[in-house]
């Protein structure tokens, strides 16, 4: 796997980290990976070596739990092959790739360098592992609602990340998606959408919640419904986006486009 990431520093420590004398993690195909699981280390400081020593020495695991560890300076440590089914999200291990940001985010904040490195890493991995469509916090996996990990808001992380994806990585790349501001009944929302092929795509959950709509996620079909109606949504890093006109229709809102400010205006009809 090519782990040369533009704008990021990756250190391969797979061969040097402490490992169990005999136990080895099971293996999977890259296409088995469906999500990136974001963790914090829950320690104020730390290193891949220290985590590996703990996971092997104290827990008796085959090796370090995470596939990648990101230090506060933004350096990415490559710890396990993505094919390794390491232990970090219980029953979801087979389909998840673990990324740990060093820090205890109950009392600290991730650094900008860490968040930027995480974004670049995920973006890079999603090109190499197209099945890895979702980006979830540890706490968002089944059975882990009780666990305060990664202890920072994943909704904001995904939004920042999807906006990050809209920025060119270098000058040769043109941005594909222009951000779109959203106003509801005259107030700007804190979330943004984006333009795709001339259509404004808006974040379904945030807009529906702000407008008092009911959002349902249908697990079997991976469909999102608002007020009982199906939308032609697209999922970007785990968040669903739908065309502004469709979303407005199911929320019974009028919609207007202001091309001079790239703003979708939605308001309750009379
Ligand atoms: Zn965790």
Q: 96-101 and 35-40 as β-strands: parallel, antiparallel, unpaired? A: parallel
pLDDT at 3: 94
134 CA distance to ligand 1 middle (Å): 16
Predicted confidence (pLDDT) at residue 147 exceeds the cutoff of 90: yes
233 CA distance to ligand 1 middle (Å): 29
Question: What are the helix (H) ranges across 57-203?
Answer: 112-128, 154-166
pTM, full prediction: 0.64
16 CA distance to ligand 1 middle (Å): 23
270 CA distance to ligand 1 middle (Å): 48
Query: Which of 52-61's residues contact partners 24+ apart within 8 Å by CB, and which partners?
Result: 52/17, 52/18, 52/19, 52/79, 53/18, 55/87, 56/18, 56/19, 56/20, 57/18, 59/87, 60/20, 60/23, 61/20, 61/23, 61/86, 61/87
204 CA distance to ligand 1 middle (Å): 27
Q: What is the mean pLDDT of the chain?
A: 90
38 CA distance to ligand 1 middle (Å): 7
Beta bridge partners of 242: 202
DSSP-derived secondary structure for 213-258: --EEEETTTTEEEETTEE---EEETTEEEEEHHHHHHHTTEEEEEE
Residue 112's contacts (CB-CB under 8 Å, 6 or more residues apart) are none
46 CA distance to ligand 1 middle (Å): 15
Q: 263-268 and 253-258 as β-strands: parallel, antiparallel, unpaired? A: antiparallel
88 CA distance to ligand 1 middle (Å): 7
Range picked from 85-99, 208-222, 236-250 for highest mean pLDDT: 85-99
84 CA distance to ligand 1 middle (Å): 17
- The label of the residue with tokens 């019974």 reads 252
pLDDT at 219: 74
101 CA distance to ligand 1 middle (Å): 10
112 CA distance to ligand 1 middle (Å): 20
Q: Assign 173 a pLDDT band (cuts: 50, 70, 90).
A: very low
* Model confidence pLDDT, tens digit, residues 106-136: 999 999 999 999 999 999 999 999 999 999 9
Task: Please give the Cα distance from 256 to 245 (Å, whole number).
Answer: 9
pLDDT at 223: 79
Kindly state the average pLDDT of the residues 41-53: 97
- Go through the domains of the chain in sequence order and give each one's CATH number: 10-166 (3.40.80.10), 179-268 (3.30.457)
Q: How many CA atoms lie within 13 A of 249 on its CB side?
A: 10
pLDDT at 174: 38
162 CA distance to ligand 1 middle (Å): 22
DSSP-derived secondary structure for 68-89: EEE-TT-PEEE-S-TTEE-SSS
181 CA distance to ligand 1 middle (Å): 33
206 CA distance to ligand 1 middle (Å): 25
Neighbours of ion ligand 1 (CB under 5 A): 39, 138, 149
């Amino acid at each position: 796997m090519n782990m040369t990431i533009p704008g990021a520093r990756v250190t391969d420590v797979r061969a040097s980290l402490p490992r169990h004398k005999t136990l080895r993690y099971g293996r999977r195909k890259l296409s088995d990976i469906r999500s990136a699981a974001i963790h914090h280390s829950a320690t104020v400081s730390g290193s891949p070596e220290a985590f590996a020593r703990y996971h092997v020495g104290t827990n008796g695991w085959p090796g370090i739990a995470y596939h990648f560890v990101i230090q506060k300076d933004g350096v990415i440590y490559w710890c396990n092959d993505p094919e390794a089914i390491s232990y970090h999200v219980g029953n979801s291990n087979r389909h998840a790739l673990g990324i740990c940001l060093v820090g205890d985010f109950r009392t600290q904040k991730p650094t900008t360098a860490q968040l930027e490195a995480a974004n670049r890493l995920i973006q890079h991995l999603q090109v190499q592992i197209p099945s890895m469509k979702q980006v979830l916090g540890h706490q968002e996996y089944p059975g882990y609602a009780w666990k305060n990990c990664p202890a920072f808001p994943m909704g904001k992380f995904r939004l920042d990340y999807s906006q990050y994806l809209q920025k060119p990585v270098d000058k040769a790349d043109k941005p594909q998606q222009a951000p779109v501001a959203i106003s509801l009944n005259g107030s700007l929302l804190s979330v943004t959408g984006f333009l795709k092929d001339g259509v404004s795509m808006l974040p379904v959950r945030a807009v529906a919640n702000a407008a008092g709509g009911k959002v349902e996620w249908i697990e079997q079909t991976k469909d999102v419904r608002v007020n009982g109606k199906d939308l032609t949504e697209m999922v970007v890093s785990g968040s669903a986006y739908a065309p502004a006109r469709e979303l407005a229709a199911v929320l019974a809102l009028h919609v207007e486009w202001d091309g001079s400010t790239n703003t979708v205006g939605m308001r309750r009809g009379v």
